[in-house]
Amino acid sequence: MLNRALTAATLVASLALACAAPLATAQSQTPIRIGIITDRVGPAKPYAEPVTLGAVFAAREINAKGGVLGRPIELQIEDDQGRPDISATMARKLVDAGAVMIVSLSLSTATQQAQTVSLETKTPHFTPSNSGDTLTTQIANPWFWQSGPLGSAQVATLLSYARARNLKRVALITETSALGQMTARSFREALQRNQIEIVAEEVVPGGATTAEPQMQKIRAANPEALFMAGVVTPENVLMLRAYRQLGLKMPILASYNMSVPVYSSVAKGLLDGIAFVDAFDPARPEAKRFSEAFRKDSGTEPYNLHGYGYDGIYLVADAIRRAGSTDKDKIREAMQATRGFVGVMGAQGSTYGFADGRRTGFDTNGMVVRVYEQDQQGRVVHTGSR
Amino acid sequence: MQDLIELLISATAGGCIYALFALSYLVVLRPTGVINFAVGDWGTVAAFGGFLALSEAALPWPIGMAFVIIAAFGLGWLTERIAVRPLVERGAPVLAPILALLGMLVIFREAVSVAFGPDPRPIPQPFGYGRIEFGLLAASYQSIFIIGITASVFVGAWYFFERTLAGRSFEAVALDRRAAALMGINLRRVTSFAFGAGASIAALAALLLTPNTSAHYLMGIPLAIQGFTALVIGGVGRTEGALVGGIILALAEQLTMRYVPIAPGLVQGVPLLLLIIFLLVRPTGLLAARGASA
């Protein structure tokens, strides 16, 4: 159903491009092509699909306002199936098709591999949704940026929230996906930096039928809190079920994955009291305006993942506008010069920017902590990592 | 001690799920010689059927379960007609239907993904989240439900294969298809029934599992792997081998996770290590067919 919605949205976006306001010259009517690499059939599909819908909506909105540099933008969407090898092939295809920027919305590992192409072809490359800390550290690629909230920012925000508890002994649990492992590593490093002992560290394998052995070990270790770094919903549900089943009581501090609204239905009765980190504050004025516009346009309620894609396309459009041309070198310089960009994501007052040569753009104090109440995502109870 | 007993019951319940998938393989494999890796995705389709019947339509569990299992029989029958029979009738090598069924696996998975989207879907617990605690005994209602239903299915399967004429015809086809045909056994009917029954068993396994995990379009492949591993451990010669293999596999997984002091990431390798050991040491599985030597 979402696939159909995505196809429909893409068609509508194309129509909107075709019907864009008459422009002065033939040259000015040539669309600016932005390449999107998403995952439509692989493991990242549950996340990539709403992010892509948000990106398509942003492109439509920008074109309705006259486009960028007087030209409409055109999204060329390619599917990498969440596979790094195909992601690199798709990046090359987009470069050959004349994309002035590649936007990766797939798995972090796939985005990493696609960077080999953006580096080689000197094509600006950007991910608004990947949160792996290593994307900008493993390859020295001055053509690549990310604006998703990093795993390190997530755990810093959770620790800031839990400071009053003065935690000394905690447990850490994750699952076996690449991002789940990366997030757990960020969590582990931050906990160790803060001299908090990890008394039990457990992993629930993909496709498991229970998480009871892992939760029994955690119960035996008697931690003061449980950090959940998993990002795959079925395995996270198993963890929560075992937690309740075994009568565990320590507080749960969960990664941003718990901010996806699907938990309210698949983990009903298991959620109350869980504190989770989020990059979306529904009370933020920009977020409110976005939610209303998206709802009016599509008839569905957006959530944080839509916001990543939406902000991503606006960030790219802003860089092209400031570059004043579609020259890749100029777009690279403009992208790196981004400061104080206000999007819909992040805590109130937070902005995106790549100051001091950094290529990670999410405000480190821009995350919030929310708590589940009656199986619904509750209000913001904490902001920032200070 | 309560921890251990609780874990043994939980592992037995997990083993029952593996055992049902192993039985699904076995029911198809014995009369046809075809290893059907699509069993996991039969389960996926059934899980989403369960979502429609039990969550959306809110049918009572017995009615919803019966509805899904009967529909799954039709799916299995259709799978055989589309992907297997045309190849067998054209004299294709035995590998051809196995590959065709791998193709069906992808079709099932993507059909579910297109129809329901990528998000997991909830299936209600038949008896809620409660648990029994009696002395040292502690177990969830769902674990006990899974063990009870699986025991009934295996008793029924044993009775069918060992005590009924129809079941014996399966055995005859497994021993020698040509001789069985000459004795008047309808090979087409046996094959169709095998696929239908295999899909129904996979559907039942999925319905028992998904109240714990939710229905998800990528759930099939891990279940197919675990079911196949259980089958290899237990052996393909006897029905009860699937049950023994499933429970041994789950016990090995969960007891290793709980009590063996190795890195959490390495625990996943234990079932595969077990599979390799059984293939090397006892390729016929733990329970050899009657009259066969290991």
- Locate the chain B residue with the closest alpha carbon to A202: B264
Verify that A131 and A143 share a domain, yes or no. yes
Determine, yes or no, domain membership for A141: yes
Q: How many Cβ contacts (< 8 angstroms) between chains A and B?
A: 105
Question: Is any Cβ of chain B less than 8 angstroms from the Cβ of A262?
Answer: yes
Residue A23 pLDDT greater than 70, yes or no:
no
> Which residue among A45, A202, A245 places its CB closest to the CB of B118?
A45
Residue A14 pLDDT greater than 50, yes or no:
no
C-alpha–C-alpha distance, residues B46 and B205, integer Å: 9
Which of A:211-250 have CB within 8 Å of B?
Answer: 212-214, 216-217, 220, 233-234, 237-238, 241, 244-246
Contact flag B225-A262 (C-beta cutoff 8 Å): no
Q: At what angle do helices B220-234 and B2-32 cross, to 10 degrees?
A: 80
Determine, yes or no, domain membership for A194: yes
Verify that A377 and A237 share a domain, yes or no. yes
Verify that A229 and A372 share a domain, yes or no. yes
Higher pLDDT, A385 or A337: A337
Determine, yes or no, domain membership for A362: no
Among A18-27, A334-343, B34-43, where is mean pLDDT lowest?
A18-27
Determine, yes or no, domain membership for A358: no
Question: Is any Cβ of chain A less than 8 angstroms from the Cβ of B131?
Answer: yes
Joined together, the tokens standing for residue A234 give 């079925």
Question: Is any Cβ of chain A less than 8 angstroms from the Cβ of B225?
Answer: yes
Q: Is the dihedral of CA B214, B215, B221, B224 positive or negative?
A: positive
Verify that A54 and A85 share a domain, yes or no. yes
Determine, yes or no, domain membership for A361: no
C-alpha–C-alpha distance, residues A112 and A84, integer Å: 7
Report the predicted TM-score, pTM, of the whole model to 2 decimal places.
0.82
Verify that A273 and A342 share a domain, yes or no. no
Q: How many domains does chain A have?
A: 2
Note the pLDDT tens digit of each residue in B96-126: 999 999 999 999 999 998 899 888 999 998 8
pLDDT at res. B133: 81
What value does the mean pLDDT take over residues A105-111?
93
Verify that A107 and A181 share a domain, yes or no. no
From chain A, pick out residues whose CB is under 8 angstroms from the CB of B14: 209-210
Question: Is any Cβ of chain B less than 8 angstroms from the Cβ of A261?
Answer: no
State the pLDDT confidence band at A81, using cuts at 50, 70 and 90.
very high
Contact flag A244-B129 (C-beta cutoff 8 Å): yes
Determine, yes or no, domain membership for A58: yes
Verify that A206 and A316 share a domain, yes or no. no
Q: For the domain that residue A230 is a member of, what is the CATH number?
A: 3.40.50.2300
Contact flag A266-B122 (C-beta cutoff 8 Å): yes
Q: Measured between CA atoms, how close is A188 to chain B, in angstroms?
A: 14
Which of B:8-37 have CB within 8 Å of A?
Answer: 10-11, 13-14, 17-18
- Locate the chain B residue with the closest alpha carbon to A209: B14
Q: At a CB cut-off of 8 Å and minimum separation 6, what does A198 contact?
A: A170, A171, A172, A188, A191, A192
Q: Sort residue A379 into left (φ over 0), alpha (ψ -120 to 50) or beta.
A: beta
- Report the number of secondary-structure helices (H) and strands (E) in chain A: 13, 12
Verify that A170 and A265 share a domain, yes or no. yes
CB A102 within 8 A of CB A125: yes
Determine, yes or no, domain membership for A359: no
Verify that A143 and A11 share a domain, yes or no. yes
Higher pLDDT, A372 or A41: A372
Question: Is any Cβ of chain A less than 8 angstroms from the Cβ of B122?
Answer: yes
Which residue of A210, A241, A303 is the best one to mutate when testing the B interface, meaning the one whose CB has the most B CBs within 10 A? A210
pLDDT at res. B108: 95
In order, the DSSP letters of chain B are -HHHHHHHHHHHHHHHHHHHHHHHHHHHHHHH----TTHHHHHHHHHHHHIIIIIIS---HHHHHHHHHHHHHHHHHHHIIIIIHHHHHTT--THHHHHHHHHHHHHHHHHHHHHH-SS-B----TTTT-EEEETTEEEEHHHHHHHHHHHHHHHHHHHHHHHSHHHHHHHHHHH-HHHHHHTT--HHHHHHHHHHHHHHHHHHHHHHHHHHH-B-TT-HHHHHHHHHHHHHHH-SSSHHHHHHHHHHHHHHHHHHHHH--S-HHHHTHHHHHHHHHHHHH-TT-SSPPTT---
Contact flag A209-B131 (C-beta cutoff 8 Å): no
Verify that A192 and A258 share a domain, yes or no. yes
Note the pLDDT tens digit of each residue in A257-315: 899 889 999 998 899 999 999 998 888 999 999 999 999 999 999 999 999 999 999 99
Verify that A251 and A264 share a domain, yes or no. yes
Of B83, A312, A180, nearest to A320 by C-alpha is A312
* ipTM of the complex in this document: 0.84
Which residue of B5, B8, B10, B107 is the best one to mutate when testing the A interface, meaning the one whose CB has the most A CBs within 10 A? B10
Verify that A131 and A72 share a domain, yes or no. yes
Question: Is any Cβ of chain B less than 8 angstroms from the Cβ of A25?
Answer: no
Determine, yes or no, domain membership for A360: no
> Which structural domain range is residue A313 located in?
2-149+283-353
pLDDT values of chain B reduced to their tens digit, one per residue, 294 residues? 778 888 999 999 999 999 999 999 999 998 888 999 999 999 999 999 999 999 999 999 999 999 999 999 999 999 999 999 999 888 888 889 999 999 999 999 999 988 998 889 999 988 877 778 887 788 888 999 999 999 999 999 999 988 898 888 888 887 787 888 888 888 888 999 999 999 999 999 999 999 988 999 989 999 999 999 999 988 887 888 999 999 999 999 888 888 888 777 777 787 788 888 888 888 777 766 555 443
pLDDT at res. B67: 97
pLDDT at res. B291: 52
Contact flag B117-A2 (C-beta cutoff 8 Å): yes
